[in-house]
Chain A
Amino acid sequence: KAGVTQTPRYLIKTRGQQVTLSCSPISGHRSVSWYQQTPGQGLQFLFEYFSETQRNKGNFPGRFSGRQFSNSRSEMNVSTLELGDSALYLCASSLVVGSSYNEQFFGPGTRLTVL
């Protein structure tokens, strides 16, 4: 079974630009979550999408947004990039069965550098 894939793997942008990252979950997984990882703050939750609806949201400004498509693929967008947005952005998918909690499986990440 193919794992979680993320594109692109590397991005370099300048301040003020916007960026869109893509994530394809494991086949059959309906929940997709996004995390930001930086050396100073560690892994921080951005948001989760399930059945094309945002189910949970972390403490990030409105410049960070996302969406999920009917095939469970997800995108996240960051507008008006700031230097502090430089980070590894990770996508994770999980199989949702009723109200049970299931493990999240992570993709390789997208390394975003903002100059």
Chain B
Amino acid sequence: EDQVTQSPEALRLQEGESSSLNCSYTVSGLRGLFWYRQDPGKGPEFLFTLYSAGEEKEKERLKATLTKKESFLHITAPKPEDSATYLCAVPPKAAGNKLTFGGGTRVLVKP
């Protein structure tokens, strides 16, 4: 069974203080890894898809990387509006859209 673990559970940062979030996974055949951002009371917002080890994607202050066992989401010089819960997820090896999510990392950026 696919497993996804995120760490830390929560992260408090000062504005401008860069940091990284970790997503480790155990899957029988990686078909991709997805990062989402979720604000309180809202649905997850798609950020990135990573398909193979060594791949990197960037969007504003966020950069996602992928290795054979884990993915990192780097937040560079964060701003208060980057405060959210960040979720990673993997799809099944077989066809279909049954995403397995990690527990998420709650990020709070203080001004």
Residues of A that sit less than 8 Å from B by CB: 4, 31, 33, 35, 42-45, 48, 55-56, 58, 88, 90, 92, 94, 99, 101, 103-109, 111
Q: Is the CB of A45 within 8 A of B100?
A: yes
Q: Does B99 contact A (CB under 8 A)?
A: yes
Q: Is the CB of B97 within 8 A of A48?
A: yes
Question: Given A42-B104, A56-B92, A101-B91, A33 and B43 touching (CB < 8 A)?
Answer: no
Q: Is the CB of A33 within 8 A of B98?
A: yes
Which one of B36, B45, B49, B98 lies within 8 Å of A58 (CB-CB)? B98
Q: Does B54 contact A (CB under 8 A)?
A: no
Q: Is the CB of B43 within 8 A of A106?
A: yes
Residues of B that sit less than 8 Å from A by CB: 31-32, 34, 36, 41-46, 49, 87, 89, 91-92, 95-104
Give chain B residues whose Cβ lies under 8 Å from the Cβ of A101.
31-32, 91, 97
- What are 12 sample pairs from A and B whose C-beta atoms fall under 8 A apart? A31-B97, A33-B97, A42-B101, A42-B104, A43-B89, A43-B99, A45-B100, A55-B97, A88-B41, A92-B43, A107-B43, A109-B41
Question: Given A42-B101, A42-B104, A108 and B43 touching (CB < 8 A)?
Answer: yes
A-side binding surface: helix, strand, loop or mixed?
strand
The chain A residue sitting closest to B102, CB to CB, is A42
Give chain B residues whose Cβ lies under 8 Å from the Cβ of A4.
43
What is the bound-complex CA distance between A103 and B34, given in angstroms? 8
Q: Is the CB of A104 within 8 A of B95?
A: no
Q: Is the CB of B34 within 8 A of A55?
A: no
What is the bound-complex CA distance between A104 and B45, given in angstroms? 9
The minimal Cβ–Cβ distance linking B108 to chain A, given in whole angstroms, is 17
